[in-house]
Copies of this chain bind each other. A is one copy, B any other.
Amino acid sequence: MSRKRYLLTPGPTPVPPEVLAAMAEPVIHHRSPDFKRVFAETRARLREVFRTRNEVLVFTASGTGAFESAIVNLLSPQERVLAVSCGEFGERWRSMATALGCDVVPLAYAWGEAPLPGDVERALAESGASVVFLVHSETSTGVVCDLEPLLEVCGAAGAVSIVDAVSSLGAVPLETDAWGADVVVTGSQKALMTPPGLSFVSVSDRAWERVGRATLPRFYWDWARARAKQEADNTPFTPATSTLVALNVALGQLLDEGLEHAFARHVALGRACRAGIKAMGLDLYSPDDDSAAVLTGALTPDGVDAVELRLALRDRHGITIAGGHGDLVGRLFRIGHIGYVDIYDIVTALAAIEAQLAELGTGLERGAAVAAATDAFDAAVRA
> Interface of A with B (CB < 8 Å)?
5, 7, 9, 11-15, 20-21, 23-30, 32-33, 60-65, 68, 77, 95-96, 99-101, 187, 189, 195-198, 216-220, 222, 236-243, 314, 320
Q: Which residue of B lies closest to A100 (CB)?
A: B217
Residues of B within 8 Å of A60, CB to CB, are: 60-62, 65, 196-197
Contact check, A242 vs B23: say whether CB atoms are below 8 A apart: yes
Q: Among the listed B14, B26, B198, B220, which residue makes an inter-chain contact with A5, where contact means beta carbons less than 8 Å apart?
A: B26
- By beta carbon, the residue of chain B nearest A243 is B197
A314 pairs with B242, CB closer than 8 A: no
Q: For residue A25, which residues in chain B have a CB less than 8 angstroms away from its CB?
A: 20
Q: Are B220 and A64 in contact (CB under 8 A)?
A: yes
Question: Residues of B contacting A241 with CB < 8 Å?
Answer: 12, 195-196
> Can you list the 6 inter-chain pairs with the closest CB atoms, starting with the nearest?
A197-B240, A24-B24, A195-B242, A23-B23, A64-B237, A62-B237
The answer to whether B20 touches A7 (Cβ under 8 A) is no
Query: Residues of B contacting A101 with CB < 8 Å?
Result: 217
Cross-chain contact of A99 among B9, B12, B64, B218 (Cβ < 8 A): B218
The reply to whether A7 and B28 form a contact with Cβ atoms under 8 Å apart is yes
A27, A32, A187, A198: residue with the most chain B Cβ atoms closer than 10 Å: A27
Which residues of chain B are near A239, meaning CB under 8 Å?
A: 62, 196-197
Partner of A21, one of B9, B11, B15, B24: B24
A218 vs B23: C-alpha distance when bound (angstroms): 31
**Given A189-B27, A240-B196, also A220-B65 (CB < 8 A):** yes
The interface centre, meaning the residue of A11, A29, A30, A68 with most chain B CB atoms within 10 A of its CB, is A29
Q: What are some 27 contacts across the A-B interface (CB < 8 A)? A: A7-B27, A12-B28, A12-B30, A12-B238, A12-B241, A23-B23, A33-B314, A60-B62, A61-B65, A62-B239, A63-B237, A63-B238, A64-B238, A65-B220, A68-B219, A96-B219, A96-B220, A99-B218, A99-B219, A100-B219, A187-B238, A195-B240, A195-B242, A197-B197, A197-B198, A197-B239, A197-B240
- In the complex, what residues of B have CB within 8 A of residue A195's CB? 27, 240-243
What are the residues of chain B within 8 A of A24 when measuring CB–CB?
20-21, 23-24
Complex Cα gap A186–B196 (Å)? 20
Give chain B residues whose Cβ lies under 8 Å from the Cβ of A14: 26-27
Other-chain residue from B13, B197, B216 in contact with A242 (beta carbon distance below 8 A): B197
> Bound complex: CA of A95 vs CA of B236, how far in Å?
13
Point out the residue from B27, B65, B240 that lies within 8 Å of A15, measured CB to CB.
B27
**Contact A220-B68, Cβ < 8 Å, known A60-B62, A61-B60:** yes
Q: How far is the CA of A9 from the CA of B12 in the complex (A)?
A: 32
Residues of B within 8 A of A187 (CB): 238
User: How far, in whole Å, are A280 and B64 apart by their CA atoms in the complex?
Assistant: 51
The reply to whether B65 and A238 contact each other, CB–CB distance below 8 Å, is no
Complex alpha-carbon distance, A280 and B61, angstroms: 43
Given known contacts A189-B238, A197-B197, A217-B217, A99 and B30 CB-to-CB distance under 8 angstroms: no
User: Which residues of B lie under 8 Å from residue A64 when comparing CB positions?
Assistant: 219-220, 236-238
CA separation between A196 and B23, bound complex, in Å? 12
CA distance A12 to B30 in the complex (A): 8
Shortest C-beta distance, A45 to chain B (Å), equals: 20
The CA of A217 and the CA of B243, in the complex, are separated in Å by 29
Distance in Å from the Cβ of A59 to the closest Cβ of chain B? 8
Minimum C-beta distance from A232 to chain B (A): 15
Report the minimal beta-carbon distance from A270 to chain B, rounded to whole angstroms: 21
Which B residues are CB-close (under 8 A) to A237?
62-65
With both beta carbons as reference points, the residue of chain B lying nearest to A225 in the complex is identified as B99
